[in-house]
Structure formats: C-alpha cells, structure tokens
Amino acid sequence: MSLAARLLTLPANARRTLALGILVLALLLAWFAIVQPVRGLLDSQRQWRQEVRRDIGRDRGLVAAADELRVAREAVTASALRAGLYDAKQGAPADQLQNDLRSALLAAGLEPTNFKPLPGVGADPLRVVRVEFASVMTVDQLRAFFAALDSQPHYVRIERLRLDAATEQRADDNPRLTALFEARGFTAEPGAAAPLRVARAD
C-alpha cells in the first residue's frame, strides 16, 4: 500500500493533525531559510548606513575645523602681530630665538650661555620654537633681562622658570640665583595640512 493510500485510511482528525504538523514544519523551514537571512541582511544594511552617517559627520567636523584653521591662519597673516613672529625665510627660527635671548642677556650684564634647542610644538596656524638655557644672575639682572626681552622686536615668552638660591643669605647682600629657563618663540610657517577625505553616502 502506498503512503497516500495509507494516509487516506487514517481518521479525519488524524489527517488534520498531520496536515497541521506538516504546515508548522514548512513554516519553520521558511523562517530559518528565508526570513532569518533577510533580517540579517537588513540589520547589516542598517548598521552600514549608521556607520556611513557617523563617517560623514566626523568628516564634516574635520572640514569645519580646517576652515577655522584657514581663517585663523589668514588672520595671523594679516595681523600687525605678525611682526612679532619669527620668519623662517630669515633663517632658522630656533637660531633667531637664541640670538634674541643672547642679546637680552648681554643687555642685563650677563655672559652668553649655552642654549639647548627643544623639539618644536605644532599649534596651527603657528609653530612653537622652544629653547632651554641656564644662567647665574642677581634679582636686578633678572629684572633687567625681562625688560630687555620686552624691548625685542619678536614675541618671546618664558614658559618655565626655576630659581635656586643659597639657603643662607645676608640681609645686605644681593644674592646670586641659578635660573633655569624655557623660552618660546613663534613662527607663522606651519607645515602643510593633509588633504581631507569626505565620505559620501549614496
């Protein structure tokens, strides 16, 4: 007897139960074979769109920052304060800074010292030039040194200053201090900015 004939011999309730079981099984197979893969594809597309939106937002922020830097660079170029910056065309900015510091030391009655150039720091649209040096001086000479720096044509900032003095001093004595300086100058010759890539979504 064939399978179909056997099914026909079953009671009506049994045939209905079997048919429902087959239908449920078919629905489960369709769910795992079709619905689940489609849902996974849709979730993947949704995640990709979110990532693209984030990339676009980040790149737009970079473009806005680049515009702000360009405006700042143009403002520095047009500003009268540019005269206080070191021009790389006139020589190495670190050498120019050392010359200004040496002149200020001589004006304060101090002997020139050895300078230690430090790595520069980028601060677009400017670049910071750093020099470290030490000297032995009195308080009056320190005051004269700062006054001489103020009269320099370039803008020089003393970023750090450490003073050491003898623990025992006489009241009528002008003590000599060991001073360690970090001086900074600025140049308007920053490195070229890297080109920006802006993401686009279809």
Neighbour order of strands in the sheet with 157-164: 115-123, 126-138, 176-187, 157-164
Q: Which residue has the higher pLDDT, 12 or 137?
A: 137
Q: Which two tokens stand for residue 175?
A: 């003590």
Average pLDDT over residues 156-180: 81
Query: Are the CB atoms for 76 and 82 separated by under 8 Å?
Result: yes
Tell me the backbone φ, ψ of residue 151, rounded to 5 degrees: -85, -5
For the full predicted model, state whether its pTM sits above 0.75: no
- Domain 84-187 belongs to what topology? Alpha-Beta Plaits (3.30.70)
pLDDT tens digit sequence for 84-96: 888 888 888 999 9
Question: Per-domain residue ranges for the chain?
Answer: 9-78, 84-187
| Alpha carbon distance 178, 151 (integer Å) | 24
Q: Which two tokens stand for residue 71?
A: 């405006």
Average model confidence (pLDDT) across the chain: 78
What is the pLDDT at residue 198?
37
Residue 57, SS3 per DSSP: helix
Q: Which two tokens stand for residue 152?
A: 């320099």
Average pLDDT over residues 140-166: 90
pLDDT at 63 over 80: no
Residue in 69, 47, 64, 46 with CA at minimum distance from that of residue 198: 64
Q: How far is CA 17 from CA 22, 25, 31, in A?
A: 9, 12, 21
Average pLDDT over residues 55-80: 70
Average pLDDT over residues 163-184: 80
- Under the banding of pLDDT at 50, 70 and 90, the label for residue 171 is low
- Under the banding of pLDDT at 50, 70 and 90, the label for residue 46 is confident
Q: Which residue has the higher pLDDT, 169 or 183?
A: 183
Residue in 99, 104, 100 with CA at minimum distance from that of residue 147: 104
pLDDT at 118 over 70: yes
Contacting residues for 65 by C-beta, under 8 A, at least 6 apart: none
Amino acid at 93: P
Measured in whole angstroms, how far is the alpha carbon of residue 162 from the centre of its chain? 29
Q: At what angle do helices 139-150 and 93-107 cross, to 10 degrees?
A: 130
What is the pLDDT at residue 19?
72
